[in-house]
Amino acid sequence: MQMTWRWYGINNDDITLDHIRQIPGVTGIVWSLHDKVAGEVWEEDRIKETMDHIRSKGFNGDVVESVNIHDDIKLGNENRDKHIDIYIDTIRKLAKAGVKVICYNFMPVFDWTRTNLYQELEDGSNALYYEKKLVEGINPKAIADLILGGAGGKTMPGWEPERLGKLEELFECYKDVDEDTLFENLRYFLERIIPVCEEVDVKMAIHPDDPPWPIFGLPRIIRSRDHIRRFLDLVDSPYNGLTLCTGSLGPNKANDIPAIIREFGDRIHFAHIRNVRIYENGDFIEVSHRAKDGNVDTVEVVKVYHEMGFKGYIRPDHGRHLWGEEKNCRPGYGLYDRAMGIMYMLGVWDLLDKQKEEEQR
Ligand code: DNO
Ligand code: MN
ipTM, two decimals:
0.95
Confidence of residue 328 (pLDDT cuts 50, 70, 90): confident
User: Cβ(31) to ligand 1 under 6 A?
Assistant: no
Torsion of CA 274, 58, 308, 270, to 10 degrees: 50
Chain CA centroid to CA 14, Å: 20
The three-point CA angle 325-299-156 to 5° equals 35
Ligand 1 atom closest to 272 (CA): 8
Buried b (16+ CB within 10 A) or exposed e, 251-265: bbeebebbebbeebb
> Coil, strand or helix: which one is 130?
strand
Q: Which of 101, 105, 244 to mutate to test the pocket of ligand 1 (most atoms within 8 A of CB)?
A: 105
| High-pLDDT (> 90) share of the chain, % | 87
| Residue 65 amino acid letter | E
Which structural domain range is residue 270 located in?
Answer: 2-360
Residue-wise pLDDT for 117-166, tens only, equals 999 999 999 999 999 999 988 888 888 888 888 777 777 777 877 777 78
DSSP reduced 3-state for 127: strand
Highest mean pLDDT of the ranges 139-153, 167-181, 302-316: 302-316
Instruction: Give me the mean pLDDT over the 277-296 stretch.
Output: 97
Is 317 annotated as catalytic? yes
Mean model confidence pLDDT for the chain: 95
Q: What share of the chain in percent tops pLDDT 70?
A: 100
Q: Whose CA is nearest to atom 7 of ligand 1?
A: 248
Protein residue with its CA nearest to atom 3 in ligand 1: 112
Q: Report the 10 Å Cβ neighbour count for 33.
A: 17
Length of the chain: 361
Count the neighbouring beta carbons within 10 Å of the beta carbon of residue 292.
10
**Ligand 1 atom 6 nearest Cα:** 104
- Rounded CA gap, 228 and 236, in Å? 12
272 is annotated as an active-site residue: yes
pLDDT value of position 48 = 98
- Bridge partners (DSSP) of residue 286 are 276
Q: CATH number, domain at 87? A: 3.20.20.150
- Between CA 221 and CA 344 the distance in angstroms is 31
Region of 66 (left: φ > 0; alpha: ψ -120 to 50; beta: rest) is: beta
321 tagged catalytic: no
Residue 240 C-alpha to ligand 1 middle, in angstroms? 17
Nearest to 192 by CA among 38, 83, 99: 83
- Rg (C-alpha) for the chain, rounded Å, is 19
Annotation marks residue 227 as catalytic: no
Q: Among candidates 65, 113, 70, which has minimal Cα distance to 243?
A: 65
pTM score of the predicted model = 0.96
Q: Is 19 designated active site? A: no
- Summarised one tens digit per residue, pLDDT across range 211-233 is 999 999 999 999 999 999 999 99
Measured CA distances, 74 to 70, 82, 133 (Å): 7, 13, 27
Burial readout 167-195 (b: 16 or more C-beta within 10 A, e: otherwise): beebbebbeebeeebbbebbbbbbebbbe
Please, are residues 342 and 24 in contact by the beta-carbon 8 Å criterion? yes
Ligand whose nearest atom lies closest to the CA of 67: 1
Task: Indicate whether residue 32 lines ligand 1 (CB < 6 A).
Answer: no
Specify the number of domains making up the chain.
1
CA 323 to ligand 2 centroid distance, Å:
23
Q: Which ligand is nearest to the Cα of residue 222, counting in written order?
A: 1
Mean pLDDT of 24-28: 98
CA angle (45, 51, 52) in 5-degree steps: 85
